[in-house]
Structure 1
Amino acid sequence: MTEHQVINPLSTGTDYEALAATYRPIFQRIADGALEREQSRTLPHEPIQWLKEAGFGAVRVPVEYGGGGASVPQLFELLIELAEADSNLPQALRGHFAFVEDRLNAPSGPARDVWFKRFVEGDIVGCAWTEIGAVAMGDVVTKVTPHGDQWRLNGEKFYSTGSLFSDWIDVYAQRSDTGGDVIAAVRTRQPGIEQSDDWDGFGQRTTGSGTSRFVDAEVDAENVIDFATRFKYQTAFYQLVLLATLAGIGRAALRDVSRHVRERQRIYSHGNAQRVSEDPQVQQVVGNITAWVYAAEASALKAAQPAQQAYVARFAGDPARERAANVAAEIESAKAQVVVTELIQRATTELFNALGASDIRRGKSLDRHWRNARTVSSHNPVIYKARIVGDWSVNGTEPPFVWQIGNGPAAKA
């Protein structure tokens, strides 16, 4: 072990099977209640608590600090397993793991150690970045203002994914004094924060992605973080969470269609066998779904490897190597997004060709797989990712590392 590693231990990976074995019983408990939560739209407060108590939020924290020491690909492999149990949960934890990754990339020292301790003790971080409504491109209405030894946060955010379950919220804001963009890590349990469960999407219905309002919410000075220091592969990382979620949805759809085909008793007179499970055309449908899910999972995990390389390169003292790794993280996550999006949407539609009319009944909720996949796929428009990949392949144009959404200029008459 080098002196550098002693001073600043990194999470470079662990025994995956041993790590996963810790959480698989919890994943099974989560899976057991997933259908009921979907049908009743019950928010997963209890499953999130099970994961917190088991230390799931600290799987990326170095073992020297009490965490799991998992690599980035190992994290996403775990998230695929979790998404198979309930696809809402990895997305609900998306902001948390991104904030953990940012702290992993922060300079070593007491400030970072405090956050590692919080993660190990079970603290979860939600996110609140997006402002909707009449907000021009680039404008940040949410502000943090100096107030004695602290700061005050004011504003409103939507898509506050996971924040309803969190102890902290990672808020994208602007300093009122300098206009600089910052991250304000704010404690959730305080009078100045109001959270609403008003996410009404047709899929991923229990991710806690509603509105957060901040009225003079207190923020400790050390938790107002210059956005320019944010880890560089963040956009790729956020996308990788969605890819893992999609791969898990595919696994859940494959699990369900396989079970329903095995158990199905009714056959068609013009079918090919005395049992549906023995019908070669039905077997072909399930075989195609199996292959598509396999390819999606393999793509998601391969796309996670450059992010790990970017994390390690962050501390290698070689800016050129670090930049190349960050570019690779963006490009590979974008390539995987193009492929995985299509494969899982196809798989979650095609499964009905192996079943019958009775399998579209609400009680089975098999449509949830497509609705969830379609909802996850609507994040970060795939058409733009395909263009970015093409521009890189043809012209060597580097991808954008950070992008925004907002109202465009008014159309000319």
Structure 2
Amino acid sequence: MTTLNQTGFASQTAIPLKFFEHQQDAHVIRSDAEAIAIAHELAQEFAKEASLRDQERRLPLEEIQKYSQSGLWAINIPKVFGGADVKYRTLAEVVKIISSVDSSLGQIAQNHWAFVEHLRLDATPEQKKFFFELILKGIRLGNAFSEKGSKTVADLTTKIHKTAQGYEINGEKFFATGALLAHWIPIVAVDEQGRSYAAIVPRDTTGVEIINDWSGFGQRTTASGTVRLNHVFAREEYVIPVHQAFERPTPAGAISQFIQAAVDAGIARGAIEETIQYVRQYSRPWIDSGLEKATDDPYTIANIGDLKIKLRAAEAVLDLAGDAIDVAIADTTEAHVAEATLLVAEAKVLTTEVALLATNKLFELSGTRSTLSELNLDRHWRNARTHTLHDPVRWKLHLVGNYYLNGVELPRHPWS
């Protein structure tokens, strides 16, 4: 049975079962321009209670429904299967728009989009048809991939083995962003040979227990907690050999990291806008400046300029990375995949740096009153600090430097 209570948090109410009922098909987006326009419309609505949701650790149930029903969760499905197959720079723009107002919402969908690529790469034609049709109708995929306590992030202990009826899975996951709010959950487990498979199971499958025990100080409403797996049955036709995506050149790892970087760029974008609005409305000029308004302070002006330039640079490299991913999908060669992976790593460094800088400068430029708890402006820094820890940027710097200095290609895995 799936545990749906928000254990240990302010609200103890269960998620209504009707939240998971599929009542009507989602809108189907047809173009890049339509995807961006819908993202802007949703962002205006999602912004209204974003701070309150964070303060109360209130899961964005209504918002998630609108988000997936909008059609945005299906925009990277190939056109041959009925999707918009938008450019990856468009997908990044959608993620940034949503993340700029609520980065938890931006993150919840990231593993869904990343897994769509795994379906494209390694699912059978029948599996693609089945799952792409579900996603186009508004079905959400969750995430049961990472674990805690192992030697490295890649050392998975969750096991999958063949049975007479299908497959059985046993283990425990953490950082399971989106699982609590999903209709189907891709569970990544390893077989006797250490090869990774993704078994996609309905969220109410017997033996699947989802616990909302995410206590991180940032990204509070992602429900990125525990999934326990006790003799979970998976049908053979729902099992994908995801290990294959990293045994040959594919952009799978780059895409996963690319979406992560887009979330961070969105956090930076939102924090800079929040800073500008606060300085305009509330900040006072410093006593020694002799100025009438804080917006005339030359140091504040210069800092805003610096933030905007750094954000534009980070987003520009992110766009280049998105274009390289598109090339790698269209013509999947070692060279194209390596270029996409390299540019994504560079973008990840820049988006991390500007997200942390922008969320810190928010307080420096706004002044002491901006730290008042009722304003909850610290959510931007908490979210940036939490989400950018997904993988160490210090290693991105090493990998990029090693490529240019020694010609060593970046590794092929979901964190590169």
Q: Under TM normalisation by the shorter chain, which class is it?
A: 0.7 to 0.9
- Greater CA deviation, 80-89 or 141-150? 141-150
Q: Which residue, out of 9, 29, 33, partners 2:49? A: 33
Cα drift, residue 332 of structure 1: 1.0
TM-score calculated relative to the size of structure 2: 0.86
Quote the residue 1:288 is aligned against.
306
Q: Which residue, out of 361, 364, 370, partners 1:350? A: 361
Structure 2 CA distance for aligned equivalents of residues 291 and 136 of structure 1: 36
Quote the residue 2:339 is aligned against.
328
Quote the residue 2:287 is aligned against.
269
- Greater CA deviation, 334-343 or 254-263? 334-343
Cα deviation, 1:265-315, whole Å, max 9, x if unaligned, reads 64443234212223333222222222222222222222222111111114x
Distance 1:180 1:281, change over 3 A: closer
Quote the residue 2:258 is aligned against.
240
Cα drift, residue 111 of structure 1: 2.2
Secondary structure of the 1:154 match is: strand
Cα drift, residue 380 of structure 1: 1.3
* 1:285/1:353 contact within 8 Å kept: no
Alignment: residue pair count: 384
Cα deviation, 1:188-222, whole Å, max 9, x if unaligned, reads 12231111111122211111210101112221101
Q: Percent identity?
A: 32
In the alignment, is residue 183 of structure 1 matched against residue 192 of structure 2?
A: no
Structure 1 unmatched ranges of 5 or more:
1-12, 315-321, 405-413
Cα drift, residue 236 of structure 1: 1.5
Q: Which residue, out of 237, 240, 243, partners 1:228? A: 243
1:151-190, aligned counterparts within 5 Å?
151-176=167-192, 179-190=194-205
Matching residue's letter, 1:379: H
Matching residue's letter, 1:211: T
Structure 1 CA distance for aligned equivalents of residues 185 and 389 of structure 2: 23
Distance 1:65 1:239, change over 3 A: same
In the alignment, is residue 255 of structure 1 matched against residue 273 of structure 2?
A: yes
* 1:392/1:398 contact within 8 Å kept: yes
Secondary structure of the 2:234 match is: strand
Structure 2 CA distance for aligned equivalents of residues 261 and 122 of structure 1: 41
In the alignment, is residue 399 of structure 1 matched against residue 399 of structure 2?
A: no
Quote the residue 2:5 is aligned against.
none
* 1:143/1:173 contact within 8 Å kept: yes
* 1:153/1:215 contact within 8 Å kept: yes
* 1:183/1:225 contact within 8 Å kept: yes
- Greater CA deviation, 255-264 or 284-293? 284-293
In the alignment, is residue 84 of structure 1 matched against residue 100 of structure 2?
A: yes
Quote the residue 1:409 is aligned against.
none
Secondary structure of the 1:349 match is: helix
Q: Which residue, out of 20, 24, 42, partners 2:36? A: 20
Quote the residue 1:338 is aligned against.
349
Quote the residue 1:278 is aligned against.
296
Structure 2 unmatched ranges of 5 or more:
1-28
TM-score calculated relative to the size of structure 1: 0.87
Cα deviation, 1:249-269, whole Å, max 9, x if unaligned, reads 111111111111111264443
Secondary structure of the 1:105 match is: helix
In the alignment, is residue 116 of structure 1 matched against residue 123 of structure 2?
A: no
Cα drift, residue 80 of structure 1: 0.8
* 1:98/1:238 contact within 8 Å kept: yes
